[in-house]
Amino acid sequence: MKYTLTTPLYYVNDKPHIGSAYTTIACDAQARYKRLKGHKVIFITGVDEHGQKIQRTAEQKKIEPIEHCNNISQLYLKLWDKWDISNDVFIRTSSQEHINIVNDFFNRVFSSGDIYMGHQKGWYCVGCEEYKDIDEHAIESTCPIHKQKLEWRDEENLFFRLSKYQNEIEQLVNKEDFIYPISRKNEIINFVNSGLKDFSISRVNVKWGIPVKGYKDHTFYVWFDALLGYISSICKLNSNYSLDNLIDNGWPADVHVIGKDILRFHAVYWPAMLMSANLEIPKKVIGHGFLTKDNLKMGKSLGNIIDPDKLVKDYGIDSVRWYLLKDFKFGSDGDFQFRRFVDIVNNDLANTIGNLLNRTTSMSRKWFEGNIPEAINSDTHILQIKVVDTLKVYNSSFSIFDFSRALDSVIELATFANVYLNEQAPWKQIKLNSNKQLVANDIYSILETCRIIAIMINPVVPKLSIKILNQLNFNSTDINLTECCYWGLLQSNAKLPTPEPIMNKLEFIDDN
RNA sequence: GUCUGUGUAGCUCAGCUGGUUAGAGCACAGCAUUCAUAACGCUGAGGUCGAGAGUUCAAGUCUCUCCACAGACACCA
């Protein structure tokens, strides 16, 4: 089964931001999960490189726009490497394959009669770089933010007939599963109900963009260009630059994961564009929340930005991935607190899971000649029942991007095993030789539980997962979430390596 | 300004169609314990459920008003 998912194509105006990293690990976790479930996954990410802002930034740096884009793109690639991102494609909108797709796509939309020449008029603030919603009959007006005089602009642009798709889009956004979360869905519904207006898709004063063939001085508006990056990714992956055979190659996307700020482009404009071009529309759009830090918006002016590079350097990638996916409800805004980050990671990964593994492997080695004991069980072990229940919750949560609940269920399982161990107290039982088989059964079951826990957390903390499996002497290549979760695959009498902490505790560094 | 959402223990949140003494995890305190990463476990302290009024035998849960925060109200992404 194919499963295609995308992050947004990040705007390369500046170096990568923690918010982009958050979106990307969420996608990565889902991509890894789906792979473990046996899907053929296409995980798309990339960068959006055109537009006036980039042009200006490059000018300020006194370099060519493409040079600037090369630099920032490199930063993204490096970051995703450090963050263990398993994307299948990285698309750049300045690439030739993308430019070809944009042209082909435009031709299709043009043939549908959905393109016309119009005028973009209004009061424009140079500071905001946007048109202000101010009465066009006003003689003079100022920007409420910048307090500068607004310029009256009347620009010739190509327009896309969005209004033609009013009914189709209304139906689409009202569909049960298209937009998530629900609160955002309602916003979009309201927006659509208020009546869709055509929007412009070209600019005449922006040089750094893809030229519109046949229209001198016109370049495509960044959004028209950027959204198509998802399609060109599919083409790039198949080294096949045609819009005609996308279906078999992974289009439509199963889900676009984006920040809540760009939901409208993905849930309204983009589907309409695809309809016009006679292409399939994505199945789902998820707008997740934003991160704040100590309840404040992160921003340069406040100087409270979390640098994703430094974060990983200081704390390690698994910790960061775990915290962001475990403690934040996907869809809602989340508050990043370093104290809490350290506590959560230490408790969940070091104390609960790490220590469970450590204490059990240690007993196993001590009493069973350095090996995994052999279980001779006539009854289904209580831990096996618990594992099966956990897998149910885990799977149903993970597949709907409820990472937090999925991981909670895993921690609950590990805690259950810890409690069980305390209750059974094998260190007491073992003193009586007649109890040896009983102890063997329990130790085996707990090790087996650890093995399955390792597989369950694999999409979120891949490195840690492998460490656990190695400690259990279980082959971690080709693991999956179906057969590998069957009870009893852990090999009895296999040698256990010397136990060592799989996760060192984090120390709270108070300089953030 | 209009509309929407949120506001529950120090922190992050769960509480479905109103019904016994409001829950979890973390943090904190005590106990216990050594198989284990000063870890695990047990117990405890912590809340007038944003404020006020109303409906009801009964409201965190429904209605109204107010307060605070967040978001949407089309071309910055």
Residues of A (372-401) placing their beta carbon closer than 7 angstroms to any atom of strand B are: none
Domain extent listing, chain A: 2-114+161-289, 337-485
Strands in A2-11's sheet, in edge-to-edge order, are: A89-92, A40-48, A2-11, A255-259, A285-288, A179-180
The type of residue at A158 is L
Nearby residues of A424 by Cβ (< 8 Å), 6 or more positions away: A442
Q: SS3 sequence, A307-331?
A: CHHHHHHHHCHHHHHHHHHHCCCCC
Beta strand A255-259 pairing with A202-203: unpaired
A141-CA/B66-C1' distance, Å: 35
Structure tokens at A402: 């409820």
Q: Which nucleotide is nearest to A414 (CA to C1')?
A: B40
Residue A205 near residue A218 (C-beta atoms within 8 A): no
Taking the CB of residue A276, how many other CB atoms lie within 10 A of it?
22
- A98, A232 contact by CB (below 8 A): yes
Cis peptide before A144 (omega within 30 of 0): no
Strand A334-336's sheet: what is its strand order? Answer: A296-297, A291-293, A334-336
Pairing of β A199-200 and β A40-48 = unpaired
Q: What is the largest CA-CA distance in chain A?
A: 97
CA of A293 to C1' of B66 (A): 30
Residues 402-431 of A with CB under 7 A from strand B: 415, 418-419, 421-422, 427
- Considering all nucleic acid strands, name the nucleotide whose C1' atom is nearest to the C-alpha of residue A426: B35
C-alpha A89/C-alpha A372 separation (Å) is: 41
Query: How many Å from the N-terminal Cα to the C-terminal Cα in chain A?
Result: 44
Contact, A133 CB vs strand B, < 7 Å: yes
CA distance A406 to A26: 13
Residue A91: other Cβ atoms inside 10 A: 27
Helix (H, G, I), strand (E, B) or coil at A218: coil
Nucleotide whose C1' lies closest to the alpha carbon of residue A53: B76
* Cα A410 from Cα A456, distance rounded (Å): 7
Residues 48-77 of A with CB under 7 A from strand B: 48, 51-53
Determine the distance between A417 (CA) and B32 (C1') in angstroms: 19
Q: Is the CB of A204 under 7 A from strand B?
A: no
CB within 7 A of strand B (chain A, 10-49): 11, 13, 48
DSSP state of A175: S
Q: What is the CA radius of gyration of chain A?
A: 27
Residues 285-314 of A with CB under 7 A from strand B: 295, 297
Do A2-114+161-289 and A337-485 come out as alike in CATH topology?
A: no
**Which H/E stretch holds residue A258?**
strand A255-259
Going A254 to A256 to A260 to A265, the CA torsion angle's sign is negative
| Strand B-contacting residues in A 316-345, CB cut-off 7 angstroms | 327, 329, 332-335, 337, 340, 343-344
* A184's tokens: 């955002």
Output the distance from A263 CA to B71 C1' rounded to whole Å.
12
| b/e map A454-472, b = 16+ CB within 10 Å | bbbbbbbbbebbbbbbebb
Span CA (A393) to C1' (B19), Å: 29
Say how far apart CA A347 and CA A354 lie, in whole Å: 9
Q: Which amino acid does the sequence have at A346?
A: N
- Measured to protein CB atoms, the chain B nucleotides within 7 Å are 3-5, 11-14, 25-27, 34-37, 39-42, 70-77
Per-residue pLDDT of chain A (512 residues; tens, 9 = 90+): 899 999 999 999 888 988 889 999 999 999 999 999 999 999 999 999 999 889 989 999 999 999 999 999 999 999 999 999 999 999 999 999 999 999 999 999 999 999 999 887 777 766 656 666 666 666 666 665 555 677 777 888 999 999 999 999 999 998 888 988 887 888 898 899 889 999 999 998 889 999 999 998 999 998 899 999 999 999 998 877 788 888 778 989 999 999 888 889 999 999 999 999 999 999 999 988 888 887 777 777 677 788 899 999 999 999 999 999 998 888 777 888 888 999 999 999 999 999 999 999 999 999 999 999 998 877 899 999 999 999 999 998 898 888 998 999 999 999 999 999 999 999 999 988 888 899 999 999 999 999 999 999 999 999 999 999 999 999 999 999 999 999 999 999 999 999 888 998 998 876 65
A25 CA from B30 C1′ (Å):
41
Six-digit token string for A432: 């009586």
Q: Is A261 within 7 A of strand B by CB distance?
A: yes
Identify the residues numbered 83 to 122 in chain A whose C-beta atom is closer than 7 Å to any atom of strand B: 120
pLDDT on residue A379: 83
Predicted local distance difference test score (pLDDT) of residue A2: 93
CATH number for the domain running over A2-114+161-289: 3.40.50.620
The confidence score (pLDDT) of residue A183 equals 78
The residue among A157, A135, A159, A132 whose CA lies nearest residue A146 is A132
Q: Please report, rounded to whole angstroms, the spatial distance between the CA atom of protein residue A45 and the C1' atom of nucleotide B59.
A: 48
* Best CA proximity match to A13, nearest among A335, A300, A317, A333: A300
Which CATH code for domain A337-485? 1.10.730.10
- CA-to-CA distance for A91 and A226, rounded, in angstroms? 10
Decide: helix, strand or coil at residue A510. coil
Structure confidence at residue A453 (pLDDT): 97
CA distance A320 to A463: 12
Strand B proximal to A446 Cβ, under 7 A: no
Chain centroid to Cα A230, Å, comes to 15
Q: Which of A276, A59, A246 is nearest to A168 (CA)?
A: A276
